[in-house]
Chains A and B, each alone.
Chain A
Amino acid sequence: MALSKKDMVEMYRRMLLVRYFEEKVDELYGLGKIKGGTHLYAGEEAVAIGACAAIKPDDYITSTHRGHGHCVGKGGDPKLMMAELWGKKTGYCKGKGGSLHIADLSSNNLGANGIVGGGIPIATGAGLSIQMKKSKQVVLCFFGDGASNTGSFHESLNMGGVWKLPVVYICENNLYGMSVPAARACAAQPDIAIRATSYGMPGQVVDGMDVLAVYEAVRKAVDKARKGSGPTLIECKTYRYKGHSKSDPRAYRTREEEAEWQARDAILSFRKKLVEKDVLTEKEAERINNEAYEYIEASARFAEESPYPDVSELLEDVYVD
């Protein structure tokens, strides 16, 4: 499946939606309008958008605490996402989940996860479900470098490898688990992908700042998974522009390092490529950029104007009646 021009334009648009969404959240959080744990995906857009472009609407994803990008990648509407962050009734989870638990079951997004590594076994189980139902779907399992050191990672990738489950394990290595450099947290260096050998699956390192490279690697792994040939571990080298969370002063890394990564910005370089390849004119690219910005502004207005849930909803949804 080669990407059409339309596909690439849509990828560009979604990357912009993620970036503007995160910048808006940053602003609203600073103003005290949004509360809760908020972990921004800005800088890592190429991973979620490139990977999700390689799957079909009925395929599954599991996401992480830094999950806004995955939600947009899977087709999520920033309006409903913003409302969820705001704790509004109109949000994806009726205001009960917030940033850490955005899920859209209707688009087979099995949700963000507040526990690092918590989604990896769940993705593996979704893969088992697909295999047992013979439904030919696949699962993209997103997690970070930090999660690669949890027991859940080991247990799940081993299980996925033993049963040859249709799961693509996508490690977003943004170099830091909160403040600790991956280089000081992962014994095997320099790549997490080499651990794939332990689980009987191929491992691959990809430039996580290149959306087309991510797409291509995930597409191949998805094809393989769909054919019943088992899982793949793909490590995307990427960088989060903001701190781990809003309270992070980023003392553990230099401004120079940040500038180096930002010079390779995934959105700007993709835009340049699209113009060079005549997929878009500069003018069209600018129009898409402006529309994405406006949509996020509208999303924030929608969220702000939306009602909070009624207190009577507090005890609803604990159990299926």
Chain B
Amino acid sequence: MREITFQQALIEAMREEMLRDERVFLMGEDVGLYGGAYGASRGLFNEFGPERIRDTAISEAAIVGAGVGAALTGMRPIAEIMYIDFTGIAMDQIANQAAKVRYMFGGKARVPLVIRTSCGSGRSFAAQHSQCLEAWFMHVPGLYVVMPSNPYDAKGLLKTCIRDDNPVIFIEHKMSYKMKGQVPKEEYLIPLGQADVKRSGGDVTVIAISTMVQRALKAAEELAVEGIEVEVIDPRSLVPLDMESICSSVKKTGRVIVVHESVERGGPGAEIATRIMEEAFDYLDAPVKRLSGKNCPMPCSPVLEEAAVPQISDIIGAVKEII
């Protein structure tokens, strides 16, 4: 099968959906000729023109809000917010408008809006350009939260999100854009709320989010040498969350570690661990363990930045602790 990058997978997903449905368009800062801060819309401007690949002013609230208005009136916008750290400026439109109009209006409104944004550390961008803030959005009923970990998932999930009638926060890790992976030429969709078992194993379940999936897989390889079999599960979407797949893995292994880059306090791991205790407590042989970002703003210094988020060695250590 051919290999393409995560970035190319996103471009293909948007291109195919724009060809399929003329209501789909992209707007955001520098998404046009520039091709997006991370190149995730490169080439689309030349193919679709400035109407449908629409550069905006630096106005995050208006970008998302215009997306809500356009979605309410029959379009299917993709709004790009360059960094998830900037969603604070647009938060009213995301959390109070996009997420809630359907409910507030008694189910008579639809907001088919995808907010694409980038997250994560790894480039020494420090506290305002490196965060993983998926937990903010998980907390708001009415939103879907999607975090792909490889090119195949990125393409299939983004296509699904564009076709979905609910507002979705689609979070792309900035260190993933250049990652290569197998992606078929033929069309495919990946449903939301369907976790993927990235590696099977019977000893420990590692539930990993976004780039932590790759780290967990590398840790699993090393642990396999020592005879420890790790099952790596990627939820792919945090809302909706596929508890069925998670619980069936827990039933098999009895031991779970949740790994994510976002800070530990109030993070997705807290939610996932609690749900496991509620739904699969009897199958647990050890307390659910969290391995997360440290409870501090992201620092610039590469040394500190690395220390702030889980590394492969941390995952290996956590697995050895739990068995």
Interface residues of A (CB under 8 A from B): 60, 62, 91-97, 101, 103, 105-106, 110-111, 113-115, 118, 120-130, 132-133, 151-152, 155-156, 158-159, 162, 316-320
Contacts and interface: CB of A to CB of B under 8 A. Distances in A.
A97 B109 CA distance: 12
B92 A317 contact: no
Interface in B64-96: 64-75, 77, 89, 92-93, 96
B interface bracket (residues with beta carbon within 8 Å of A): 35 or more
A318 B106 CA distance: 9
B57 interface: yes
25 contacts: A92-B105, A103-B104, A103-B105, A111-B101, A118-B65, A121-B66, A121-B97, A122-B69, A122-B97, A125-B71, A125-B73, A128-B66, A128-B69, A129-B70, A130-B73, A132-B75, A151-B89, A152-B61, A155-B59, A155-B65, A158-B59, A159-B59, A159-B66, A317-B102, A320-B102
Interface in B97-115: 97, 101-110
A126 B72 contact: yes
Contact of A320 (B62, B104, B166): B166
B264 to A, nearest CB: 28
Contacts of A132: 25, 51-52, 70, 75
Contact of A92 (B68, B103, B106): B106
Contact of B97 (A95, A115, A156, A320): A115
Nearest to A60: B73
A113 B72 CA distance: 14
A114 B75 CA distance: 24
B211 to A, nearest CB: 28
B92 A152 contact: yes
A125 B27 CA distance: 11
A118 B92 contact: yes
Contacts of A114: 96
Interface of B: 25, 51-52, 56-57, 59-62, 64-75, 77, 89, 92-93, 96-97, 101-110, 141-142, 144, 164-166
A228 to B, nearest CB: 14
Contacts of A155: 57, 59-62, 65
Contact of B108 (A95, A105, A123, A318): A105
Contacts of B70: 125-126, 128-129, 132
Closest 9 CB pairs of A and B: A121-B65, A125-B69, A317-B107, A125-B66, A93-B106, A94-B106, A155-B62, A155-B59, A101-B104
A122 B65 contact: yes
A108 to B, nearest CB: 8
A318 B101 contact: no
Contacts of A158: 57, 59, 62
Contact of B62 (A113, A129, A159): A159
A106 B110 CA distance: 13
Contacts of A318: 102-103, 141-142
B301 to A, nearest CB: 33
B52 to A, nearest CB: 8
B109 A118 contact: no
Given A128-B66, A319-B142, A122 B108 contact: no
